[in-house]
Amino acid sequence: MKPKTIAKCALLGLALSAMPLQAQNKVNDSTKFFSLSRLTVGGYGEAVYTRNFYSDNMFRYSHAERYKDAKGHGRVDLPHVVINMGYDFGKGWTMGSEIEFEHGGNEVAVEIEAEETGEFEHEIERGGEVALEQFWIQKSFGKGFNIRMGHIIVSIGQTNNAHLPTEFFTCYRPEGEFNILPCTWHETGISLWGKVGNWRYEAMVIPALNSNMFTNANWVKNGSASGYEFRVANNLAGALRIDNYSIPNFHWAVSGYVGNTFNNDLVTNESERYKDVKGTVVVGTAEFDFKANGFVLRGNFDYGHLGEAATISSYNKNQNHQSFSPYPRSLVGEAAMACGGEIAYDILRPMKPKGDQKLYLFGRYDYYDSYIPYEGALSLYEWTERHIMTLGVNYYPIKQVVIKAEYAKRFLKEQYNDEPAFSLGVAYSGFFTR
């Protein structure tokens, strides 16, 4: 044993001997409580370069002809970098947590301006978000019944259920679901889930969405956001997901959500005019995936409906106009829908490469409309209806790492300009402990 190690052990022994017996027992108990073999640490991350061959001007839809010959724009991005950690306490009790840095996190600094009067300046050096996406405690009573409490993933739709970058082929998450539903959707609530035979179920009680945050471009996507230090939960919602694995190599699932979204905010309106307004959001989804003989096929369909969309649109347009107000003050559609499908083939499979190498050629089609207007709506926002075709490759040198390249094109209605783009990305997903 090295001298430094001997010295450390001697100091620890002296410290323990100086403690009262009760304190020594607490130290011994804490060492028994923690075990590295019960700790899991992992995560995932993505880096993407994109060249968009169309204008990014804010008026590109309202005055499309002006931007028909735009040279386009490029960007680099870190869509998601996530660190997760879990622990098995024993006796059926486990913990899970996940911290997510979206688009590089948020860099804010206070600096002294040397060239002016030496005054302090508040600098925003980089936009982005940092979020605690998961933090839950779970009690397992067996394979068929588990209770999870805390901040959990709301697995409504295909992308929320399989959002790791190694679980989809495009450089960014598939566009349809991503633009009409929260993604990745996470809320503080309670989940009951389990597996029975070839079936898996999950039922959740969570805070309802907030209709003040709905928009024409993203329907209810931003309804799970909160500008406060807490999430308002005047109204609660229910969510349900059912998965089936009865057929080898084939998986299908359905999921649904229902909740009243009006007045689910810190500022509410109790006037007689709005006393019966509920703003009920109902979402239903269906999905499948198939993997065999080097082929991967996936598909999804989502449809959602918002009750009293005309009243909520009028209410939102007249929201508080203060400069720091979090409300987008946008019209919102009565419904939204998205569907998509992709097919891929591993061209290395016939060569039987060593290890987990795979090289997928893939094609994907998406359609979505984030603003299906209510009857009598004055503004139709026809640019919200889009078709997207994507062709690309995914190379997996190992199971946990993927390099992606793709060419995608959005097709809008004829009065608008189509939106082609090329993207190149690299991503990983895996655990650092076993």
Q: Express each pLDDT in 204-254 by its tens digit.
A: 999 999 999 999 999 999 999 988 889 999 999 999 999 999 999 999 999
Neighbours of 107 (CB within 10 A): 11
Model confidence at 354, pLDDT cuts 50, 70, 90, reads confident
In whole angstroms, what is the distance from residue 84 CA to residue 44 CA? 9
Rg of the Cα trace of the chain?
25
Task: Give the pLDDT of residue 277.
Answer: 96
Task: Give the pLDDT of residue 117.
Answer: 54
Give residue-wise pLDDT tens across range 150-169.
999 999 999 999 999 999 99
- Mean per-residue pLDDT over the chain, rounded: 89
Model confidence at 376, pLDDT cuts 50, 70, 90, reads confident
Model confidence at 316, pLDDT cuts 50, 70, 90, reads very high
Q: Half-sphere exposure of residue 293, counting CA atoms within 13 Å on the CB side?
A: 1
In this prediction, residues 399-420 reach a mean pLDDT of 97
Task: Give the pLDDT of residue 26.
Answer: 45
Task: Give the pLDDT of residue 129.
Answer: 83
| 137 close to 152: Cβ distance less than 8 angstroms | no
The larger pLDDT score, comparing residue 112 to residue 351, is at 351
In the chain, the percentage of residues whose pLDDT exceeds 70 is 86
The larger pLDDT score, comparing residue 275 to residue 16, is at 275
Q: Which of 321, 368, 388, 26 is nearest to 181 (CA)?
A: 368
194 contact partners, CB below 8 Å, separation of at least 6: 142, 143, 144, 145, 146, 200, 201
Q: Is the pLDDT of residue 290 over 70?
A: yes
Model confidence at 15, pLDDT cuts 50, 70, 90, reads very low
Q: Is the pLDDT of residue 107 over 90?
A: no
Model confidence at 313, pLDDT cuts 50, 70, 90, reads very high
Q: Specify which residues 299 forms β-bridges with.
A: 288, 341
143 contact partners, CB below 8 Å, separation of at least 6: 194, 195, 196
**Domain architecture of the chain: domains with CATH:** 124-431 (2.40.160.10)
Task: Give the pLDDT of residue 16.
Answer: 41
Model confidence at 14, pLDDT cuts 50, 70, 90, reads very low
Q: Which of 368, 310, 382 is nearest to 336 (CA)?
A: 368
In whole angstroms, what is the distance from residue 81 CA to residue 287 CA? 26
Model confidence at 113, pLDDT cuts 50, 70, 90, reads low
In this prediction, residues 125-140 reach a mean pLDDT of 88
Q: Checking DSSP bridges between strand 385-398 and strand 107-112, what pairing results, if any? A: unpaired
In the chain, the percentage of residues whose pLDDT exceeds 90 is 75
Model confidence at 3, pLDDT cuts 50, 70, 90, reads very low
